[in-house]
């Protein structure tokens, strides 16, 4: 397969992730909507570390994270404008 290195790495990561057992976390969003999030092994390890540091559950960490405002990307500056 002849592709640029970054595309090969991306495809390899997809294959690796698909071979791992997914972790499912059911939680309730800030508006009361039931959510079901599927995490990779790396993501669940990171979430566990964050939640453990805060001394809360994964579910509570996701619920609290739903209240964090999403940063909007800065508008692209067009040349000559």
**Residue 25 in domain:** yes
In a domain, 76, yes or no: no
> Does residue 58 lie in a domain region?
yes
> Among residues 45, 47, 38, which one has the least CA distance to residue 65?
47
Residue 61 or 75, more confident: 61
pLDDT of the residue at 38: 92
Q: Is residue 74 part of a domain?
A: no
Show Cβ contacts of residue 16 under 8 Å, excluding neighbours closer than 6 positions: none
- Mean pLDDT, the chain, rounded, equals 89
What domain range includes position 47? 16-65
Q: Give the pLDDT of residue 29.
A: 93
pTM, entire model: 0.67
Q: Are 62 and 35 in contact (CB under 8 A)?
A: yes
- The mean per-residue pLDDT over the stretch 52-60 comes to 96
pLDDT of 25 strictly over 90? yes
The answer for 32, left when phi > 0, alpha when psi is -120 to 50, beta otherwise, is left
> Into how many domains does the chain fold?
1
CA distance linking residue 59 with residue 37, whole number of Å: 10
- Residue 80's pLDDT is 67
């Amino acid at each position: 397969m002849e592709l640029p290195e970054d595309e090969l790495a991306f495809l390899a990561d997809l294959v690796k992730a698909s071979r791992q057992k997914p972790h499912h976390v059911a939680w309730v969003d800030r508006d009361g909507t039931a959510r079901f999030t599927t995490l990779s092994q790396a993501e669940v390890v990171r979430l566990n570390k964050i939640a453990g540091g805060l001394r809360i559950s994964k579910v509570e960490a996701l619920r609290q994270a739903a209240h964090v405002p999403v940063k909007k990307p800065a508008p692209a500056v067009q040349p000559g404008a």
